[in-house]
Chain A
Amino acid sequence: MNLLQRIKNKVRARSIHVAYVDVGSCNGCDIEVLACLAPRYDIEQYGIYVHNNPREADVLLVIGAYTPGWEEKLGMVWEKIPDPKVAVAIGNCPISGCLFNRRESFVDAPVKKHIPIAAEVPGCPPRPTEILEAILSVRDSVFANWEESHP
């Protein structure tokens, strides 16, 4: 790995853009993602910027248990994100459907059936620290050696 690539890896890992999408949740997890932006957790000090535009995003936070209304739409959002990209499942809902995944309910969890998920954060809702840790855990691998692995 040459020096330029190493610098690129370092810098890019500190400049992550995040978009989030709620595919049918109770809003509990949305509030915790919001809390990450607040001064107490201050997600921006790590160079992570949440501005919710898929075309600029590197990390997609998926929240919610995947209701039928999202059947065509989540794939579209995922397609719009330029490579390299990862999706992180926030909360129990995208992992298992949480309390909504009962007989005769319409949710179609887990979300990893529909788009690839790189990391999962269990909890209902997960704590902001846990969400932060998950984003920080994927940020080094998203861009790492991107030019070399995709010539």
Chain B
Amino acid sequence: MGLSLIWYLREFARREWIKKFLFAKTAPLVTPSHFRGFPEPTGKTCQHALFCMMVCPAPGAIEVLHDGDRWMPRIHKGHCIRCGLCVEACPNGVLKSGRILETMGREGTSLLFSFRIAIDLELCTGCGNCCTACPVNKGIDAQMGAGGHSSNDDVIMRVQKGDIVVIHEDKCTGCKTCEVSCPTGAIRIARILEGYQQPVHEGLQ
């Protein structure tokens, strides 16, 4: 009886025990740097390709805003789910999160966007709104007026003899401006996202 009392007193007087009794046992855990956090800028220049906004699955999570003299994506906490797709989709490596960029570089993976323009000729009235609204068309042929006629063969699409003709689908950037400007809903843009991995050869790793 006496012995065990002394044993207890000695146990309770141990510094380790007092520390554990008074303070938390587990130190607050730190988040390892490889965890995916909210995407952060790497410092590279945003080219306003908007692929981040197109790929983002969460409503209102990312916006590309004009900040002073340059474009910059802004992540909205409370909306962003930290999936990291914007980091993968950006062709310029503007964003980083965890070790996504390192993994992509090591494994040669990327996300590729392409766009298809589908026009329902039954609905299309040949008004040319889409051709004049398209910002890419505007850049190629600034002279294109209402009606969507153009003598420039480099434009994405133009109106020829009252019919809309798509010439350079590959130049489409998927902005969907044409969709909103079409009065009959005849034009539809499909955004196609493909995962791509470069073949890794044995011995090269």
Contact = CB atoms under 8 A, between A and B. Distances in A.
Given A41-B26, A102-B59, A129 B31 contact: yes
A145 interface: no
A102 B29 CA distance: 35
B166 to A, nearest CB: 29
B58 A92 contact: yes
B147 interface: no
A41 B29 contact: yes
Nearest to B25: A45
B25 A96 contact: no
B185 interface: no
Interface string B1-37: 0000000000000000000000011101111000100
A99 B28 contact: no
A97 B78 CA distance: 9
B60 interface: yes
B81 interface: yes
A31 to B, nearest CB: 15
Contacts of A97: 59
B26 A42 contact: yes
Contacts of A99: 57-59, 81
B79 interface: yes
Chain B contact residues (Cβ within 8 angstroms of A): what range?
20 to 34
Given A41-B26, A41-B29, A127-B31, A122 B77 contact: yes
Interface string A129-143: 100110000000000
B81 A92 contact: yes
Given A99-B57, A101-B59, A123 B28 contact: no
B80 interface: yes
A122 B80 contact: yes
Interface in A95-131: 95-99, 101-102, 120, 122-124, 127, 129
B28 A92 contact: no
A102 B35 CA distance: 28
A95 B80 CA distance: 11
A50 B82 CA distance: 27
Contacts of B25: 42, 45
Given A99-B57, A99-B58, A102-B59, A92 B31 contact: no
A117 B45 CA distance: 38
A95 B59 contact: no
A120 B79 CA distance: 12
B81 A129 contact: no
A45 B78 contact: no
A-B complex: 10 closest residue pairs judged by Cβ atoms:
A124-B81, A95-B78, A122-B77, A122-B78, A45-B24, A96-B78, A96-B79, A129-B29, A45-B25, A42-B26
Interface of A: 40-42, 45-46, 92, 95-99, 101-102, 120, 122-124, 127, 129, 132-133
7 contacts: A40-B26, A42-B25, A42-B26, A46-B24, A99-B59, A120-B78, A129-B28
Interface of B: 24-26, 28-31, 35, 38, 57-60, 76-82
